[in-house]
Structure 1
Amino acid sequence: MAKSLLLISRQAPWSGPGAREALDIVLAGGAFDLPIGVLFLDDGVLQLAPGQQPAALQLKDLGANLQALSLFGVDELFACQVSLAQRGLDPAALNFDEVELLSAPQLAGIIDRYDQVITL
């Protein structure tokens, strides 16, 4: 049986290659039917924010990759409620309805549920 993988994305979409690399790993794992989940933590929750304009920074939009996650069998998406609140993001305004919001105590339980964890 394939081991499950949780990718913890902690990078803002415009702060460097970390956010894109995290999504590339997730999409590759999904293409191989690896049980995979994504946890958006710290500045990583900014990837879920609406109204981003990556072209202004001459960056590619990660939104299309995020929208494609379900096509690759990646249905377990999580976001830290504390990270959202610290960055002034309204959970109701996120680009993705299917993101499960987690309290700080719930984070450890989600991390323990997966066999492998990668943080970028």
Structure 2
Amino acid sequence: MSKSMLIISRQAPWAGPGAREALDIALAGGAFDLPLAMLFLDDGVFQLVAGQRADALQQKDLGANLQALPLFGVEQLFVASRSLAERGLTNTPLAVAAEALDDSALGPLLERFDLVVTI
């Protein structure tokens, strides 16, 4: 039986390779039918903002990777409500649908998975 995995992505898309690596792990795991989900936390919530212009920073746009997650079986996407609020993103359109969780829901979410990877 496959172990379930939660990938916690905490880096902004322009802050280094962490954001891309988290998405790559999710896509690879999904391709092998590994039961997994992603949680966007802290600056990782910036990955979800729609309409980013990554080219202005000479970066690759992660939007296509986010859009591909459901195609690879990664359908459980979560975002920390407090992280959105602290960054002024509460009413900002997101590039993909993600379930917003308050702080009290984060602990139970972590307990649902066999493995938790933070990037």
Q: What is the TM-score of this pair, normalised by structure 1?
A: 0.96
Letter in 2 for 1:4: S
Aligned to 1:33: 33
Letter in 1 for 2:48: L
Aligned to 1:63: 63
**Within 5 A, what are the aligned runs for 1:37-48?**
37-48=37-48
CA deviation string 1:59-114 (max 9, x = no partner): 110000000000000000000000000000034611223x1100001001101100
Question: 2: CA distance between counterparts of 1:50 and 1:77?
Answer: 15
Extract structure 1 runs of 4+ deviating beyond 3 A.
none
Aligned to 1:114: 113
Which ranges of structure 1 fall in alignment gaps of 5 or more residues?
none
Question: 1: CA distance between counterparts of 2:105 and 2:14?
Answer: 28
Letter in 2 for 1:82: R
Over the aligned positions, Cα root-mean-square deviation in angstroms equals: 0.9
**Within 5 A, what are the aligned runs for 1:3-42?**
3-42=3-42
Which ranges of structure 2 fall in alignment gaps of 5 or more residues?
none
Amino-acid identity (%): 62
Query: Does residue 82 in structure 1 map to residue 82 in structure 2?
Result: yes
Letter in 2 for 1:66: L
Aligned to 1:101: 100
Distance change in 2, residues 1:91/1:102 (3 Å): farther
Letter in 2 for 1:40: F
Secondary structure (helix, strand or coil) at the match of 1:93 reads: coil
